[in-house]
Structure 1
Amino acid sequence: MRLVQLTVPTGKRETILKTLDDREIDYVVTDENGNRDYTAVVYFPLPSPAVEPVLDELDEAGIDDDAYTVVVDAETVVSRRFDALREEYENGDVETDRISRQELEAEADSLTPTFAVYAIMTIISAVVATAGLLLDSPAVVVGSMVIAPLIGPALGASVGSVIDNEDLFKESLLYQILGVVLAIAAAAVFAWLVRMTNIVPPGLDISGVDEISERLAPDLLSLAIALGAGVAGIISIATGTSVALVGVMIAAALIPPAAAAGIAIAWGQPSAAIGSTALVLVNVLSVNLAGLLTLWWAGYRPENLFSIGKTQQRVRRRVLGLAGIVLIFAIFLGAITYSSYAVATFEENARGEAEMVLSQEEFEEHQLLEFQVMMDDNYPFISPDRVVITVGGPPGAVPSELADTLHERINRHADDPVRVEIRSVGLVER
């Protein structure tokens, strides 16, 4: 429910009150003495779905932008006419739950802080995420998402597009671009300082840190996270519900991958930053694409009816453009996913071969203690580099027949030659 406060311009009082009477809307009118351009202020309660059509009708009646309108939440309205009005507008479809176009625009604009605050909070969140990734701490990484101010620009571009507010669209687009650049740059600078001051162990292999490695070689499921974040974000803002948790979800799609890209750059491995940077970009684009489609499906249109056709064409072009770029990135992520699948398949098959060889009668004195597949650093399309097998058996060297057999059987499952290292641990019977 909403309470609308509307200033009445000189000469428009009867028109406004007639419009409200025709719609059987209860109202209260007070005289206005503070400004000679306005003769009164009218207050009237509305169900949330009725705000947009009523304000549009008043606008058609001659209420221009010079007159201010305030829409606030109303906890309770006791009125038979209001109940009838609610039954008229609340019919259970998606437009019943959504807020008005005017409220949506104000909400999207309020979610974007000033640029100074946005830049500072983005840098801080990127630094915290970088620390969390280097510590391999999921809790710290989640904390970085909470403080990231990304939801406003991420959703503002979609809102600006569908309601024909190009200023909001351009501002949100600029914020998103600068946010990504700032996040990666801040992460790279902080990671470089950490590395140079030996805060982390010298020679740290970032591919061995789970929180980092999973973002250096992202898979296709990452796309679902971004699309889900975009849809959830728009639904939350369009229905007037809390957007705090959804903001965390959007930040989850952007901040950790940006921090991983910065770490890879600081470690002198720019090729390792390709996958995480691609993940950041596809997530940004996916959030915008999902937002555009969800808003248009929810029924949001420009205020000026004559601009609907033009706006629809612009939204269609942007949707097709975003969808095309997202598709290209999806193919790239699909290739990474297939590469990861091939690695997992190789590891499973290689382990099976090792177990099968060691189960043979001629090698029954040896047993498999540990099996490791070491990857190369050709991110994002990593592949097996060597296999390390630790076997237990009688003291002494591993029989050459065992080493040759393992090398030959394991390499059957590799596209490129893979080194096989065998380490022997002498087992003493007691």
Structure 2
Amino acid sequence: MLHLRLITPPEKTDDVLRLIEKTVGTTHLVVLQGAARNPAGDVVTCDVAREAGDELLTGLQELGLDRTGSIAVENIDLSLSLRADKAEAEAPGEGADAVLWEHLTDATHEESTLSVTYLAFITLATMIAACGVVLDNAVLIVGAMAVGPEFGPLAGISTSIVRRRPRLALRSLNALLVGFAVAMAATVLFSLFMDALDLFSRAQLDADRPQTGFVYAPDAFSFIVAVLAGAAGTLSLTSAKSGALVGVAISVTTVPAAANAAVALSYGDTHQTWGSTEQLLLNLLGIVLAGTLTLAAQRAWWEGHRRSARTG
């Protein structure tokens, strides 16, 4: 269930109440007239089944409430109410399958913002992965994959394509390109520093690396795994199952490929640099493609489900 807290101008309160009451899956409606001060107006709260949430939010936006008042949405972790159970049963579909498009857009917007924290995470992840590829240590590679924040901008690009939000696309692309550029440049310097301390060596990079050699040897499975992980990651975002994102992060060779490219570049190894770059681009393309197709399929399925529910 979702909890909505609305601030409505007095002249729009009746329209808001009618919309809530006619939306299947709503309950616990409360109206506090004149309770709001900034902005001034009435406070309306209600609970709505997650699968009916997007339809209600769209209707509230069409009433202009996001401009003249306020719309706040919270997840309800526990609701002991027969009315809530009835509302969820009446709402079409399953809550786990529902997509809150505004929430997804807002979440990806935040995750794809180029910030100091984002740059720090992707740079540290790439440096950890650099240690992993030189030492041929799979544990470090997995750790670097989990730390890397690059799925946010990739999800932002997919969301922007489906929702036709060019600003989100530019923001996400900027975070992705600048993030990897800064991380790889810093990792080149890190590699040179480690070499000066005799902790990295060209011999280690050129040695047989059974645990990490795959990061500069892309093949068909690289793209297939990226597509599967991209679909899984997108589903985890839209269904609020964030735990699955950890599995997605350690499934795709983005940060390790960038790290291997940076280390190889520091030693002038063009073969590994190009192979790792190809691996990186292949994975990025696979994730964006899968994410876009997954979101498009979800949108088409829900629109068809709603139409059949109304006609039925």
- Aligned ranges 1:366-405 → 2 under 5 Å: none
2: distance between equivalents of 1:281 and 1:205?
21
Aligned residues: 298
Q: 2:76 aligned to 74, 80, 100, which one?
A: 74
> How many angstroms does 1:64 deviate by?
4.2
Q: Is the 1:187–1:262 contact (alpha carbons within 8 Å) kept by the matching residues of 2?
A: yes
Q: Is the 1:180–1:258 contact (alpha carbons within 8 Å) kept by the matching residues of 2?
A: yes
Q: 1:32 to 1:99 in 2, by over 3 A?
A: farther
Match of 1:363?
A: none
1: distance between equivalents of 2:198 and 2:78?
61
2: distance between equivalents of 1:239 and 1:299?
13
Select between 181-190 and 196-205 the one with higher mean Cα deviation: 196-205
Q: 2:33 aligned to 22, 31, 34, which one?
A: 31
Q: Is the 1:12–1:62 contact (alpha carbons within 8 Å) kept by the matching residues of 2?
A: no
Greater fraction helix: 2
Give unpaired runs (5+ residues) of structure 1: 302-430
1: distance between equivalents of 2:140 and 2:106?
33
Rg (Cα) greater in structure: 1
Match of 1:40?
A: 42
2: distance between equivalents of 1:205 and 1:60?
58
> How many angstroms does 1:159 deviate by?
1.2
The one-letter amino acid of 1:67's match is G
CA displacement 1:24-48 (0-9 Å, x = unmatched): 6330011344437532111111110
Match of 1:248?
A: 249
Between the aligned residues of both structures, percent identity stands at 24
Question: TM (normalized to structure 2)?
Answer: 0.86
Match of 1:285?
A: 285
> How many angstroms does 1:62 deviate by?
4.3
> How many angstroms does 1:241 deviate by?
0.9
- Aligned ranges 1:162-177 → 2 under 5 Å: 162-177=162-177
Q: Is the 1:236–1:246 contact (alpha carbons within 8 Å) kept by the matching residues of 2?
A: no
The one-letter amino acid of 1:248's match is A
Q: Is the 2:4–2:74 contact (alpha carbons within 8 Å) kept by the matching residues of 1?
A: yes
RMSD over aligned Cα atoms:
2.4
- Aligned ranges 1:11-410 → 2 under 5 Å: 11-23=11-23, 25-26=26-27, 27-35=29-37, 37-92=39-94, 97-112=97-112, 114-200=114-200, 203-204=203-204, 206-243=206-243, 244-246=245-247, 248-249=249-250, 252-299=252-299
2: distance between equivalents of 1:227 and 1:67?
41
CA displacement 1:49-89 (0-9 Å, x = unmatched): 10111122233344343322111111333555544432232
Question: TM (normalized to structure 1)?
Answer: 0.64
Q: Is the 2:8–2:68 contact (alpha carbons within 8 Å) kept by the matching residues of 1?
A: no
2: distance between equivalents of 1:174 and 1:240?
25
Select between 62-71 and 162-171 the one with higher mean Cα deviation: 62-71
1: distance between equivalents of 2:205 and 2:35?
72
Q: 1:23 to 1:145 in 2, by over 3 A?
A: closer
> How many angstroms does 1:259 deviate by?
1.0
> How many angstroms does 1:227 deviate by?
0.8
Q: Is the 2:114–2:174 contact (alpha carbons within 8 Å) kept by the matching residues of 1?
A: no
Q: 1:186 to 1:18 in 2, by over 3 A?
A: same
The one-letter amino acid of 2:246's match is L
Give unpaired runs (5+ residues) of structure 2: 302-312
2: distance between equivalents of 1:119 and 1:75?
33
2: distance between equivalents of 1:42 and 1:138?
53
The one-letter amino acid of 2:9's match is P
